[in-house]
Amino acid sequence: MGCLPSVQLKVKPVLEKTKAAKKIITVDGYPFECSRKTIEAGGFKITKSITLTRDIGMKKKALHIDIGKGLGIEKYISADEVRKAKELIIKDNFRGINVNNC
């Protein structure tokens, strides 16, 4: 996991870790694909790009509507959506690695 702005800001430790990564997987919420575009603009090749609205059918919700009401994230994202996203991220990307505690 890395800090996306650090790629564009050319933060040396982040760039070194990204260059050393065996796989680069981006996860975006919706079709703007900001994480994918940021990593590609930094000159890196992405192993897998995931967009939750496209790949698991997650619906984008306007979080700004209730700013200040103190609703938890579980009011926006279901346990099923979390499970689907986790399965998609793990599928084919972490063969042979124990990710059960993630």
Distance CA 53, CA 93 (A): 20
pLDDT for 56 equals 94
26 found inside a domain? yes
Burial profile 44-65: b = 16 or more Cβ within 10 angstroms, e = fewer: beeeebbbbeeebebeeeeeee
pLDDT of the residue at 61? 76
Look at residue 47 and tell me if it is in a domain: yes
Residue 18 within any structural domain of the chain: yes
Per the domain annotation, does 102 fall within a domain?
A: no
pTM for the full predicted model = 0.77
DSSP 8-class letter at 74: G
95: in domain: no
Domain that holds residue 82: 4-90
The DSSP secondary-structure symbol of 49 reads E
Count Cβ atoms within 10 A of the Cβ of residue 93 and give its class: 0-12 exposed, 13-18 middle, 19 or more buried: middle
If the chain, 102 residues long, is cut into consecutive pieces of 10 residues, what is the mean pLDDT of each piece?
Answer: 88 94 92 95 94 92 73 82 91 62 49
Residue 44 lies in a domain: yes
Which pLDDT score is estimated for 67? 67
Residues contacting 95, CB < 8 A, separation 6+: none
Query: Per the domain annotation, does 100 fall within a domain?
Result: no
Domain count, the chain: 1
Residue 92: predicted pLDDT = 67
Contact call for residues 31 and 20 (beta carbons, < 8 A)? no
